[in-house]
Structure 1
């Protein structure tokens, strides 16, 4: 649009227009009003929270990222001595240290992601009370940030495979999708535990015990083949069974993947995630008051 110059030849004064972004905060409308688009709009905050979690974890730590290596290495050493040497657990043709490491890696990530997402709301209570943002960002950041530890420890697994003369195959490319499945499962659990922990602080104390029991109910120190065939379908109701077995198959290229376990894991995760999103969204409106 053209504007005429002033008759006296003076400069034309123009007032700059300012754009104000308005955020509408409203209650949920219906059971399926999840407002997932808000998470994308606040994606920069998600990145900030992820980086903050990583910095807090390693700040003023003597070993720094070395803790991401020591934790699985110590666990594998103990499992190798107790279950590999004394108990003589089968390892499906793979050296037992490698077999145990391939089970410990996805489990360690999953357990840490569940722990952080289940307690993150209470740990960041001041942030929840004072600042508006989609609360779903907090469990998302808690689930994504431990992937750094997984990547560091995964490099150690590759080094161990080279030491034992086991070369990775093209199936290794399936590791990222399997870890996405593990991340979705951890997020699903966190969406249930987080709001419950806001109201009942017992979750913080019972969660480590629950995770420890779940670990021994997963095929970490023993293969799925040790479970009687008639009971494998029930055992596979544990969603981490399909993830761990699939991870070992992708890394070592031994045998065939257990599609029944993977299928059951997929169905369980979809149900838990859908229910968790609805539950989290319904409870979100009271977080600031209760926390």
Structure 2
């Protein structure tokens, strides 16, 4: 439980020092840079941990899969959902920071459950791909941390998406976590206009990941007990 708070908080401190103070991004955001970053790290950490847990979920539960028949899809889904409590704990810290920095939430907070669902769908979609691939190619689990780190810097967590040229922002939204991060900031901190187009593109991309991941997972499922 403590790690659920420490991980995003420590990352926020590092980002604030290097990207905010040294990189100058603290002058490009409309609110305090620390809370601007932390508001993005809360859903990001939920996504990243869910993805990581799901990717190794089949191999990690190999004994159960060999002995008991049940829908294998349950395993990566449970792995992603296991991070909900950690998300709630980190979100409570975020609310405390909003009180400290005197940032009032907007009425747009009603969109937060759907934005969290978007992060969950993205984590599950990619997690289905990676969990199935990890059964066949065991080295996949070593690639996941690098994938997560690259994805983090490809998402507007330490920097505002406004640095991306306007004509490319819809394309940038093909990264589903762009919609999640921008949506969270908009809903909680009131940063800028509603990221409607970006969230729409991100949602379509997330659904494509989920559909393709589920298709590949079900295609490989019959071999899991033999290979795992």
Same fold (TM over 0.5): yes
Q: Quick one: distance in 2 between partners of 1:257 and 1:192?
A: 31
Q: Does 1:67 align with 2:7?
A: no
Q: Quick one: distance in 2 between partners of 1:119 and 1:257?
A: 36
Q: Quick one: distance in 2 between partners of 1:128 and 1:94?
A: 48
Residue 80 of structure 1 and its aligned partner are, at CA, apart by: 0.6
Q: Does 1:83 align with 2:38?
A: no
| Secondary structure of residue in 2 paired with 1:245 | helix
Residue 249 of structure 1 and its aligned partner are, at CA, apart by: 0.4
Q: Does 1:275 align with 2:206?
A: no
Aligned length: 227
Higher relative contact order structure (alpha carbons within 8 Å, sequence separation ≥ 6):
2
Residue 254 of structure 1 and its aligned partner are, at CA, apart by: 2.5
Which residue in 2 is equivalent to 1:34? none
Q: How does 1:101-250 map to 2 (within 5 A)?
A: 101-250=38-187
Which residue in 2 is equivalent to 1:290? 227
Residue 91 of structure 1 and its aligned partner are, at CA, apart by: 4.7
Q: Quick one: distance in 1 between partners of 2:101 and 2:206?
A: 35
Which residue in 2 is equivalent to 1:93? 30
Q: Does 1:256 align with 2:193?
A: yes
Cα shift readout 1:13-49 (whole Å, capped 9, x = no counterpart): xxxxxxxxxxxxxxxxxxxxxxxxxxxxxxxxxxxxx
Q: Which has the larger radius of gyration?
A: 1
CA RMSD between the two structures:
1.1
Q: Quick one: distance in 2 between partners of 1:286 and 1:75?
A: 39
- Alignment gaps of 5+ in structure 1: 1-64
Cα shift readout 1:121-150 (whole Å, capped 9, x = no counterpart): 001110111111110100110111101111
Which residue in 2 is equivalent to 1:59? none
Which residue in 2 is equivalent to 1:31? none
| Secondary structure of residue in 1 paired with 2:56 | helix
- In the TM superposition, structure 1's runs of 4+ consecutive aligned residues that sit over 2 Å from their partners are none
CA contact (8 A) 2:186 2:195 kept: no
Q: Quick one: distance in 1 between partners of 2:149 and 2:215?
A: 27
Q: Quick one: distance in 2 between partners of 1:281 and 1:73?
A: 38
CA contact (8 A) 1:91 1:99 kept: no
